[in-house]
C-alpha cells in the first residue's frame, strides 16, 4: 500500500526513540508488517530512505530474522514449539495435527489465507510445554485436540483468550504492538504461576543464593 502521512508520522516517532536512527530498523519492519501483512519491497525501500540505509542493508535484516515474512501471513500466525522439551511432551503431535487440519506445512499459509503455520524455536515457556503461540500470544500445555479447538474457534470468528490472559487479536495487531510496545494492554496478562516459580521456590526453601559478582568458580 502507499504509505500515507499517518504511517510516515509513526515511522518518525519510532526513529526518534533512538540516538542512532539505524537502530529503528527492526520496529520499522514490524510496522510495515502491521500495515502490509508482510515485508514488501516498497516497505523496505521506504525504511531505507527514512534511515539513510541501502535497501540491501534493510533486506539483510528482514531476511535474517524469522519473524519477518516475505509473503502475506493472513489473519492469524500459529507457532508451534517443536524444540526439545515441547517436542518430547507432544509438540510434534500438536504441529502434525494442525498441519493436517490446515493443509499447510512449515512457514506456509492455508488455502483461504486465514492461518500461517510455523515451527518455532523455544519460547522460554518450557514450564508449560508443549506450547503454541497464536499471533505470538501463549497457549500453554497444548494437546492436539486443544490446539485444533483453538484453530476451529478462530476460524469461526469466536473470541479466544490466551492461557496467559490476553484476548487474541490478529497478526497485524500484534505486529503493531511490536512497533509500539506501549499499547495499554500490558495489564492483561496474569501473574507468574506456581509452576513458573517452582525453581525459585525450591531455592528459597533451601536457602540457596547466587554467588556475588567475583565469587563464582575460578
Ligand atoms: S522447548 Fe518449547 S518453550 Fe522451551
| 11-20 residue pLDDT tens | 999 999 999 9
Q: Which residue has the higher pLDDT, 217 or 125?
A: 125
Range with the poorest average pLDDT among 25-29, 52-56, 115-119, 192-196: 192-196
Percentage of the chain surpassing pLDDT 70? 99
CATH architecture for segment(s) 5-64: Orthogonal Bundle (1.10)
185's CB contacts (< 8 A; 6+ apart) are 166, 177
- Assign 160 a pLDDT band (cuts: 50, 70, 90): very high
Ligand 1 mean position, distance from CA 127 (Å): 8
Question: Residue 139: CB within 6 Å of ligand 1?
Answer: no
- Answer whether residue 218 shows pLDDT above 70: no
Tens digits of per-residue pLDDT, 170-192? 999 999 999 999 888 888 888 88
* Spans of all domains in the chain: 5-64, 76-170
Ligand 1 mean position, distance from CA 156 (Å): 29
* The CATH number fitting domain 76-170, selected from 3.30.470.10, 3.40.30.10, 2.60.40.10, 2.60.120.330: 3.40.30.10
Q: Kindly list the strands in the beta sheet with 108-109, ordered across the sheet, starting from the edge strand earlier in the chain.
A: 108-109, 115-120, 76-81, 132-134, 137-139
β-strand partners of 19: none
- Assign 205 a pLDDT band (cuts: 50, 70, 90): very high
Task: Write down the pTM of the prediction.
Answer: 0.92
Range with the poorest average pLDDT among 27-36, 145-154, 159-168, 208-217: 208-217
pLDDT for the residue numbered 1: 61
161: which DSSP letter? B
Question: Residue 55: CB within 6 Å of ligand 1?
Answer: no
Average pLDDT score over residue span 148-161:
97
- Assign 2 a pLDDT band (cuts: 50, 70, 90): confident
Ligand 1 mean position, distance from CA 79 (Å): 11
Instruction: Please check whether residue 16 is in contact with residue 157, taking contact to mean a CB–CB distance below 8 angstroms.
Output: no
Question: Residue 26: CB within 6 Å of ligand 1?
Answer: no
Question: Residue 127: CB within 6 Å of ligand 1?
Answer: no
pLDDT for the residue numbered 100: 98
Residue 147: name the closest of 76, 197, 66, 74 by CA. Answer: 76
Amino acid at each position: 500500500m502507499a504509505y500515507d502521512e499517518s504511517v510516515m508520522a509513526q515511522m518518525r516517532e519510532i526513529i526518534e526513540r533512538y540516538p542512532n536512527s539505524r537502530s529503528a530498523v527492526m520496529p520499522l519492519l514490524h510496522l510495515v508488517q502491521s500495515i502490509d501483512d508482510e515485508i514488501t519491497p516498497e516497505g523496505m525501500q521506504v525504511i531505507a530512505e527514512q534511515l539513510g540505509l541501502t535497501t540491501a542493508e534493510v533486506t539483510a535484516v528482514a531476511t535474517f530474522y524469522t519473524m519477518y515474512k516475505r509473503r502475506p501471513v493472513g489473519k492469524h500466525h500459529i507457532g508451534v514449539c517443536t524444540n526439545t522439551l515441547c517436542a518430547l511432551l507432544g509438540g510434534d503431535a500438536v504441529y502434525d495435527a494442525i498441519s493436517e487440519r490446515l493443509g499447510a506445512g512449515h512457514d506456509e499459509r492455508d488455502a483461504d489465507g486465514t492461518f500461517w503455520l510455523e515451527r518455532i524455536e523455544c519460547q522460554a515457556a518450557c514450564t508449560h510445554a508443549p506450547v503454541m503461540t497464536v499471533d505470538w500470544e501463549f497457549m500453554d500445555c497444548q494437546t492436539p485436540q486443544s490446539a485444533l479447538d483453538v484453530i476451529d474457534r478462530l476460524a469461526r470468528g469466536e473470541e479466544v483468550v490466551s492461557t496467559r490472559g490476553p484476548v487474541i487479536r490478529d497478526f497485524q495487531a500484534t505486529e503493531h504492538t511490536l512497533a509500539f510496545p506501549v499499547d495499554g494492554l500490558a495489564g492483561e496478562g496474569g501473574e507468574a504461576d506456581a509452576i513458573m516459580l517452582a525453581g525459585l521456590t525450591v531455592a528459597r526453601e533451601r536457602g540457596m543464593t547466587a554467588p556475588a559478582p567475583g565469587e563464582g568458580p575460578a
